[in-house]
Amino acid sequence: MLRSDILVRFGELKILSTPQRIEIAEILLEKPQHLSAEQIIEQLRSGGSRVSKATVYNTLNLFRDRGLVRECVVDPERRFYDSTTEPHHHFYNLDTGELTDIPSESIHFDGLPQFPENGELDSIEVLIKVRHGPAENLG
């Protein structure tokens, strides 16, 4: 996403434009991807940025709250920020730490449990955790 597009999106979502927020958005919205806060900080540092960790975390929370990115929690200590905001599913590779998309139309449900009283369906997001299988014996 171009800087001009980011600024338009910030205006639509009522996100105050600051140099740090723009830097973070340029990394996150460069392409469809899933990045952790640590990966974003690493990219900022490698580009010479001096944005603090606190600013990155606060900005990611703001972006999530305003709908600019989706937060994907794969376990209590691991979160990714997804530049694709439409509901969809994910594979999480426990060995590599990689999160990849699964198109929503690839998963089908035959039925759902009864919702709590006065509850209604908002969305369904499936996270499938995988590991590399054992290497085949080629000998």
pLDDT at 123: 84
| pLDDT value for 102 | 93
- Nearest CA to 14 out of 65, 74, 51 is that of 65
Per the structure, the complete domain to which residue 96 belongs is given by: 89-130
Task: Give the model's pLDDT for residue 104.
Answer: 82
Residue 32 lies in a domain: yes
pLDDT of residue 137: 46
| Placement of tokens 């952790």 in the chain | 36
In CATH, what number is assigned to the domain containing residue 77? Answer: 1.10.10.10
Amino acid letter, residue 133: G
Predicted TM-score (pTM) of the model is 0.86
In a domain, 138, yes or no: no
DSSP per-residue codes, 50-112 = ---HHHHHHHHHHHHHHTSSEEEEEETTEEEEES--S--EEEEETTT--EEEE-GGG---S--
Structure tokens at 111: 């039925």
Is the domain of 78 the same as that of 122? no
Please tell me the predicted confidence (pLDDT) of residue 138: 46
Q: What is the mean pLDDT of each run of 10 residues along the chain (139 residues)?
A: 94 97 97 96 95 97 97 92 92 93 89 91 90 61
Q: Are residues 26 and 41 in the same domain?
A: yes
Question: Are residues 50 and 22 part of one domain?
Answer: yes
- Burial call 74-107: b when 16+ CB within 10 Å, e when fewer: beeeebbbbbeeeebbbebeeeeeebeeeeeeee
Q: What are 90's strand-pairing partners? A: 101, 127
Residue type, 136: E
Is 93 in the same domain as 109?
A: yes
pLDDT at 139: 45
Residue 42, pLDDT score: 97
